Amino acid sequence: MKQPKISISTITYYKKEDIRILNACLSNWFTDPKTLHFTSPNMTYPFNLKKWISISYKEKNNKTIIIKIDNWIVGHLSIKYEEDQKSAHLFHLIIDSDHLRKGLAKKLISFAEEIIKKANINKITLNVVKKNKAALKLYDSLGYTDKGKNRFGWVKMEKLLIN
């Protein structure tokens, strides 16, 4: 049996064709309100791409990474650069439900960490809905530490990178 080809690349919310592709993927992934809430707690169901972009992607200091299996997008993760704090913030990690528990989220996060290191940034932050036990376990296993709660009650996590 042929091994699936896994590839990771960047995509943008500023190109019409990329937006079309992202809308198709995200609309398919967010058919369940719980999945949308775990990925983006400030979004309301049903998923709306224009609202998604207006809330999280109107600034140009973001980079979005996708993971593909045999040229089919199965995962998404975004990075927001916090220039003044010399840190980066990970958000909107989602893996297609048919591809969970295959190490794809770890691959996306590792790829993001390498991009962040190359930008000479050594601190990564992220927020997790406290009920999202799978995400909390994943980030803990990758060296992210719990830094308490943010103003919305989400778990704040942080990792310091060694360049």
Tokens of 80: 């927001």
DSSP annotation string for 29-78 = HTSSHHHHHHH-TT--SSP-HHHHHHHHSSSS-EEEEEEEETTEEEEEEE
What count of Cα atoms within 13 Å lies in the side-chain half-sphere of residue 8?
Answer: 19
CA dist 97 and 88 (Å) reads 27
Give the per-residue pLDDT at 92.
97
Q: For residue range 99-138, what is the model confidence (pLDDT) as tens digits?
A: 999 999 999 999 999 999 999 999 999 999 999 999 999 9
Q: Please report where in the chains the tokens 């960490």 appear, as a residue.
A: 113
Say what the pTM is. Answer: 0.95
Residue 5 contacts residue 69 (beta carbons within 8 Å): yes
